[in-house]
A and B are shown apart, each in its own frame.
Chain A
Amino acid sequence: MIRALYSSASAMAAQQQNLDIISNNIANINTVAYKKTRPAFQDALYSAIDARRVREPVNLQMGNGVKVAATQRNFSRGNLQETGRPLDFAIDGEGFFVLLRPDGTLCYTRDGSFQISAEQVGGVVVSRLVTPRGEYVLDVNGQPMEVYNGQEVPLENFNIAVFANPEGLEAIGHNRFVATEASGQADYGYRVTIRQGFLELSNVDLAEEMTQLILAQRAYQLSSRVLQSADDMERLANNLRE
């Protein structure tokens, strides 16, 4: 009895989390280079129905519900959209732009909507490519990318990083990722076509998200029904003696 209550409660919690993930995907449907996420569900541990009968060679174990084991990010490519803006870049293939944060650490992004930062270097004004948040975009030599004549960027100079397991990257907001133990170290200098004047769209498919939404909602509803039945049973047991 208690088991049914908790199993269905775990399912409702998991579906709630599923719904959170779906709503975040839909919220980011117009975010440049956003990558959708999906939860991976797993069955929770099993316990013996009757502790005195564990030695019997038959299956006598009952599950304890479900859990969200991981959220998996889908790095499939979004469509490329032409913007005509010379400081918009899209990676036509695998990989990430490498960004240098003000604190000296690196992060990675596929969002190529950059800007120019004019800086005094040794008495000369240099135009450097930066993100809207002021992070430098690095070139193959690990130096900030420079922009000539306000729009000319040597595309082959972009430093592109690839990872053994991009799903292991940690999203830190503002379309950026950082490397983790799970993702492995970045492999720099990957050769890939960069398109100037294009941006990568979000890879969220609204029809797919709506389908997931319906599934999540129904699963939630069903589990709440089971919870109600378990509660009804408790009530009946309570009413055995009036």
Chain B
Amino acid sequence: MVRGLYAAATGMINQMTRLDKVANNIANVNTRGFKGDQVVSRAFDEELLLRVDNGQASSGRRIGTINHGVYVDRVITSFDQGSLQETGEATHVAIKGEGFFVILTEEGERYTRDGGFMLDDQGRLVTVDGWPVAGQTGPIFVGTRDFVIDPEGNVMVGGMYVDRLRLVNFEDLQALRKAGNNLYINPDPENNPAVEFQGEVAQGFVESSNVDVVRETVDMITALRNYESNQKVIKMIDSVLSKTVNELGRV
């Protein structure tokens, strides 16, 4: 009985985390290049119940298995393509297919799908935070807003090749971590090396968020209702316990 109390509590905590996920996904429904998260829940390990006679477990009979509730096993990010939205700005680039732009931040390389770039005072292609976008040998100097990026990522000014966007993909996308500011970090480059980029890029477009609001709304409703059910279970167990304590022994 008291076991059930704890199991229901873990259920409530789990549904709470799912609502956190819904809140973050919906908050980023207009964020360029955002990839939605999903929460994977998992039951605690099964335990074998034995009947204990006279304090002797060895002579006991197997009753069956039980587990004590649920926990958040991991968060997976859905890297599905977001729809491309036309902006007409020369400095905006969107990726079609799997892959990332490489951003040269102070703390090292970061990866992003948000191609809403701009030029800085030196004429380099940068993110809205001012970090340079990587070309083949460092930042990309364009110097003018009159440039063309072809589907392979070659940057051309007046028909002359200037640089090429560095685009990467990874063997295991789930090994990447979100770092905020629309950036991703690869925490273990040794075990998850960058692989060749297979997609193409489109200039004058940005990728919108891939969050599906219908799914998120459904998740929100189920999270709330499951939370409520778990709460009901706790209240029920509580009232049963209350009967045991207050009424059973009454003379």
Contacts and interface: CB of A to CB of B under 8 A. Distances in A.
A94 B213 CA distance: 40
Interface in B6-35: 12, 15-17, 19-24, 26-32, 34
Interface stretch (A128-136, A160-168, A194-202): A160-168
A59 B76 CA distance: 7
Contacts of A58: 73-74
Interface residues of B, number: 63
B117 to A, nearest CB: 10
Interface in A1-56: 1, 3-5, 7-8, 10-11, 14-15, 18, 40-46, 49-50
Choose among B72, B77, B145 the residue with the greatest number of A CB atoms under 10 Å from its CB.
B145
B224 A46 contact: no
A40 B231 contact: no
Interface in B217-251: 217, 220-221, 223-224, 227-228, 231, 234-235, 238
B230 to A, nearest CB: 9
Interface stretch (B62-70, B120-128, B161-169, B193-201): B120-128
Contact of B231 (A66, A167, A237): A237
Interface in A179-209: 181-185
Interface stretch (A69-77, A97-105, A108-116, A137-145): A69-77
Given A69-B181, A229-B224, A164 B24 contact: no
B88 interface: yes
Given A8-B23, A229-B19, A72 B118 contact: yes
B37 A222 contact: no
Contacts of A60: 72, 74-75
Name the residue among B77, B120, B143, B235 with the largest chain A CB count within 10 angstroms.
B120
A18 B179 CA distance: 23
Given A43-B34, A230-B23, A70 B88 contact: no
B174 interface: yes
B30 A59 contact: no
Contacts of A164: 119-123, 143
Interface string B41-75: 00000000000000000000000000000001111
Interface in B151-200: 174-175, 177-182, 188
Interface residues of A, number: 65
Contact of B26 (A3, A8, A74, A167): A8
Q: Is the interface of B mostly helix, strand, loop or mixed?
A: mixed
B231 A59 contact: no
Contacts of B116: 40, 72
Contacts of A166: 145
Contacts of A241: 238
Nearest to A241: B238
Contact of A1 (B20, B182, B213): B20
A66 B22 contact: no
Given A182-B120, A184-B122, A240-B235, A41 B16 contact: no
A239 interface: yes
B121 A74 contact: no
A90 interface: no
Interface of B: 12, 15-17, 19-24, 26-32, 34, 37, 72-77, 87-89, 114, 116, 118-123, 128-130, 143, 145, 174-175, 177-182, 188, 213, 216-217, 220-221, 223-224, 227-228, 231, 234-235, 238
